[in-house]
Structure 1
Amino acid sequence: MIASVRPGGAFATLLRGTAFLGRHPAAIGTETPVAARRLRAKVLGNCLRELDRFLNLLIDEVAAEACPGRIEPIGFAGQRNTANKLRTLYAILGAASPDHHRLRALGRSRDCLFHCGGVARRGDRHGGTRMTAGWPPSAGLSDAPLMSVALGDTLVVTPVDLRRVCDFYEEIAAGLVALNPRSAEAPAAIATA
């Protein structure tokens, strides 16, 4: 669990979101009736959309601090895709963007859950036959390659998967707060349980 930190409203909101989702995982069970599974998939997809939106707002806060006096930092005009926006912010701050691939995979997973009831309908690439999820296999290590499913298969999300996604968002958020050159309130350390 994250210790109490107050560098900005978006950071605190993201931490509340990950704490909630990590404690109340509505995992998709394969034994449930199809209608219930689709509803759970939609709820999970919406939860992941909310986390993505919270990260997007945190990126805006950090960018506003990094580029004082600008209404919208260079490269942000009309940018709604969080993965691309984060890559742009890292470029502005002169930092690497190691999370881009995983955030893009989370975007596909979110869309799959929300719009397709958890059934993989779109591959990673045009004409592809597999979709990469935004988390490693449940039985794998946290740094294992990301799980993928064949098109037409159901994307199953376990409580462990959700916790790993929440941890991933928390790590990105903590890194952004630490990069913020004007944030004196940036946490010195993140305490995890």
Structure 2
Amino acid sequence: MTEARAGRTRSPSAYAALRRGTAFVRAGIGRDARRGSVKVVGNMLAELDRLLYVLITETASDRGVVLPPRSRHTVVRLAALCAEHGRTGADAERLRALFWSTLCLRRHDGRAHRPDRGRGDRMTVGWPASGVDGNALALFPLLSPIMPSPDQLVDVCAFYDRLALHVVTPRPTAPRAYVGHGLELSRA
């Protein structure tokens, strides 16, 4: 589905708002990332998460999908919407890492503050490691600075844009079974 068609859902304002949000973050990357303002970058990432949350909520409402009550986390709502539409929530790990990374940027002076597991000594952040091929998310020792680079922020914006398109794209219809002449054929 193209971006133009995605905007024709019943919740176009939420989709457009998220797209404007990622454009705003991209426009402010050079200024804020160079200045080292971890709180500003954290606030921008928190706003992207909030806009995705609103998009998921509105899309679910438009499609008659009941989301778990009291689910305040975007990753929980995304997983519920994906499950309802027969899709995998493959991006849940990264979205969860972005949530905790954003929290550390905003409230812990931009330092890794929450281990991935129990008493671990490392934290996975929501952006790929610098200079590494592939999509492996960066790992940081606890209490080390986690400020993303401008390139990493561009990657995060592309991730949110892709999620937004994924959320508003209607689920493809399931193949229907064709029964005739004693044969059962599946046709798309």
TM-score where L is the length of structure 1: 0.79
SS of residue paired to 1:147? strand
SS of residue paired to 1:134? strand
Q: Which has the higher strand share?
A: 2
- RMSD of the TM alignment (CA)? 1.9
Give the superposition deviation at 1:75. Answer: 3.8
How far apart are the structure 1 equivalents of 2:116 and 2:34?
A: 22
2:14 to 10, 15, 19: 10
How far apart are the structure 2 equivalents of 1:84 and 1:28?
A: 33
* Alignment partner, residue 107 of structure 1: 99
Give the superposition deviation at 1:179. Answer: 2.7
Q: Given that residues 66 and 180 in structure 1 are in contact (C-alpha distance below 8 angstroms), is that contact kept between their aligned partners in structure 2?
A: no
2:124 to 111, 128, 132: 132
* Alignment partner, residue 94 of structure 1: 86
Give the superposition deviation at 1:61. Answer: 1.5
Residue identity over aligned pairs, in percent, reads 38
How far apart are the structure 2 equivalents of 1:51 and 1:75?
A: 20
Higher relative contact order (CA 8 A, sep 6+): 1
* Alignment partner, residue 188 of structure 1: none
Which is greater in Rg?
Answer: 2
Give the superposition deviation at 1:144. Answer: 2.5
Q: For structure 1, which runs of at least 5 residues remain unmatched after alignment?
A: 30-36, 68-72, 182-193
Instruction: Give the letter aligned to residue 27 of structure 1.
Output: A
TM-score where L is the length of structure 2: 0.81
SS of residue paired to 1:149? strand
Equivalent residue runs for 1:1-193 within 5 Å:
6-7=7-8, 8-25=12-29, 26-27=32-33, 37=36, 40-67=37-64, 73-141=65-133, 143-179=134-170
List, as ranges, runs of 4+ consecutive aligned residues in structure 1 with deviation greater than 2 Å. Answer: 2-7, 73-76
Q: For structure 2, which runs of at least 5 residues remain unmatched after alignment?
A: 173-188
